[in-house]
Structure 1
Amino acid sequence: MPANARPIALASAVATAAALGAAALALPALAAEKAPAAAAPAPTLELKDGTLDWGFKESFRKYLLSPVAHGRITVADGAKQAPDNGVFTFVDGTGTYDTGTHATANAFKGSVHFTGHDGALDITMSDVKLATKGSAAPTGEITADVVAKKMDGTVDSKNDIAIAALDMTGVRPGQGTGGAMVFKDIPAKLTKAGADAFAGFYKEGDALDPATLTVKAVTPPPSPDPTPTPTATTPSPTPSATTKPTTTPSTTQAPGKVLNGRLTWGVKESWRTYVDNTCGGDITPAGGATRNGQVYDFGFGRAELDQAARTADAGFVGSVLFECAAHGINWTVSDVRVKATGTSGRLVVDVTTLKGTKNDVTFADLDLSGADYNAMDGVVTLKNVPAKLTKDGAAQFAGPNGEEFYPPGTVIDPVTVALTLDEDAELPTTSGGSSSGGSTGGSATGGAAGGGTAGGSVGGGSVGGSGALASTGSEVPAGALLAASGAIAATGAGFVLVVRRRAAQV
């Protein structure tokens, strides 16, 4: 029967999902109305290029090829068998990841035909799937369609039989080629249905070969650069009889509707450097966020702006998954909001790690003393607003016992916010270069800020599970900033590839 993948649990991530999940994928933006909208259903992320390495049971394979059974094992439909009567690899896995329940499911191509005793034993296993329950329980299962010859010679065909029960406790993600997430040696036991399907050769609860699952998140295509619109030379209209000069419009308008916007931010340069370079991981923007040089642009959700009062309240869509499976990093920032009042403000975000999601974290204090609320060409741009970690923001990078690796007050990347007030206004082009400061002058750039030191060996905490890592000697928080390599199902976030929620009204 055709594969019917259901959502599958794996924390990138996904990602990244990344990602995590990555990666993470497009979500509807909030309407600009003031009234809060109803909560949107949690998005489902696609998985691709999956493989399942599983041999069913080694003793069964050996028995079939022994002089007693005189049997054969034949793989088909894309499945492969390792040399020397090894395990099987089921290929071309596709599936989904439910970001609400953290449950996952993958379906694979390939079949295995077991024969023995001159045809008296004849079993074919195909349409193999693996699913986990995510937050519900640290368990999963392998199902398959099984066609088997009974003792009386009749053929029994059953679909989606739960052959193996999986124990996800203690299973930690590793990193495969091309950013793949690898869940190696998942313990498996025979179910009652599986025992019946294999003619009672083994009893329920018998240990089967461990399973190894490898998957990737589907990465959304990058947003193309907009095609520049040439400015045509418009001939001057025929002068009217009125000679009264036109009044120059004010750059400061009464409170009105914000039509579009963008937030440019890189989180923290040293964090990006550690994940992307030192750790060899991946950083995946998704769901309305896009890469802009070294930093990221978050799409418009909704905003309120009062230029005269120098206040702004804006929410942006998109997520960025920081993922390095080899070190258990799976850290996603999403639902980014800016609340500005006069010369100060707050950066509020949601942060998702292997331990779950913390919503509405006041992540950074913003210094708006140099911000310009006047509109230019219909756009208000708060450029390179300096940002420093709050106590709650620093806690998102804390170790298992509350160790500080980025203390409160640490300078992070500056934030640039652009909001359009006119229908014909265009968002300014931003450049995502690096910057070690947070000045508010110059062009609209989303720079990266330095500052702060950290090091030492660490375990898991808000961002991490167990495992020690040596200090890098820079401000990068060694392994302390790493997302947990904790148990997949025990955290209920298994493959948090990219978990994000839509921008909420604040």
Structure 2
Amino acid sequence: MSSSPRRTTALAAAVATAAALGATALATAGATTASAAEVPLSGYELTWGIKQSYRSYVTGFAQGTFTPAQGASQAAGNGAFTFTEGTGTYDSTAHTLGLAFKGRLAIVSRLHGFSITLSDVRFDSAAAEITADVTRGGTTTEDVPLADVTVTRAMTDMATTLTEEAAEVFGSAGYKGAAGDPLTVVQKTPPTPTPTPTGTPTATPTPTATPTGTPSPTATASPTATAGPTSTAGPTASTGPDPTATATATSTGPAPTASSTPGASATATTEAPAGRGDIAGGTLAWGVKESFRTYVVDGAAQGRITVSGGAAQAPGNGVFTFSDATGSYDTGADTLEAAFAGSVNFKGHEENGTYGLDLTLAGVEATLDGGTGELTADVTSLGRTTRDVVLADLTARPAELSAEDDVIAVDGVAAKLTAAGSRAFGGFYPAGTALDPVDLAVALTDGAALPPGGGASPSGGTTRPADGGSGGVTAGGGTTGGSGGTTGMVTGGGLAATGAGVPVAALGTAAAVTSAAGAGAVLAVRRRRTQA
């Protein structure tokens, strides 16, 4: 089959993937096709969600719809899309494959005036890309490259990066180079003659034999065997053992166990003196959600972010840090309750001096109990305040709290939006959406020094990036808030790879955030008039 020649990046991982596929799919081709350079493939499915934030935008702000047809489907809850009956060929010489899938996906919003149809979705492991025919305004453009793919041997949850063409198709320049949803390509209809050649059983041990070096059984199936242990598979040895749970698990299994044992003993020694008591201070670093920050500053809202009252924001429209923690801890019971000073205000969609978006988070509190907990805040939207809104459910790993040098530090705490939190953001993000991770650091004594990079402070501390990295940046300049608060307005920079961005071009001049009343706080963004 033909594939788009616009990208010719032959990844070593693609070779390993094709080799693994060849081992299972090509075994049924029989001796007559074993020597052929191209072997037919069939029965594959491709699952890809484009980008979670884009789906939320279409069904939320744009009040639009996704309509799959002709073999395509969408997972429940505005989930990913699946295209079926994939057919194509495997090149046993180059160890690459190309597949074309059935199904059409119509993306329509009358409110924002767009109608897009994707069809003839294709995956090419040699070019490492996803392409599709795109129809807009009655005109169809064939083989539009939508995403570059980091191909892996297992071909499940492969990372994708949206292309410049995808940014144009989906209406946001910020999508260029942004992370798309993961891609999975699997064979759902296995070949009929399961026991046909001995290549099938031999092919199965091929990956497991890979770590040992030269698996002799693979010599049975010529095209498959060469694909597996060939020299081309050499560079992919790092990806090869990953799917082989048996080899990897056995090699890595004991190591964590052994390392966790001394870890536990170290925890015990630090927990004992820590005991329980009141918190003497601390910080909480949290970005809320990167895509929301981008939307407010660089997106359709064209607004600003202001921190005050002891909160700070890292430069480059970075994460926020709330300071002066108070509360209590109990390392024996693995519980922590901490309240933090500072507030952050998001303002945008200004028209004649009136803001359609005016949202403030203050009084941030975090609780952990055995590794799970909640993050709450007082939420003020357009002058209306709702106190103690549970914005996110928290999950910390490990669950046990331990103190070192009289400091309890818990980094990378996963945060998922609650139903009340979803209402606080006007229903744009559905409940269960992953928010930015939370970094906590609390001092148990007045003399305890908080770790560097644990958060920005108005006095010039540092902010740990939302991914938990150690590289801090000074929290001075225009994004740091003092007692009166300063503006976190930044320019430039599109949607980051980890964020769920809001398409700017498609939003146009409408601020279509819906109002929702009820138990949680309401982000009542007034719909602006559509300008000509």
TM-score by length of 2: 0.37
- Which one has the largest radius of gyration? 1
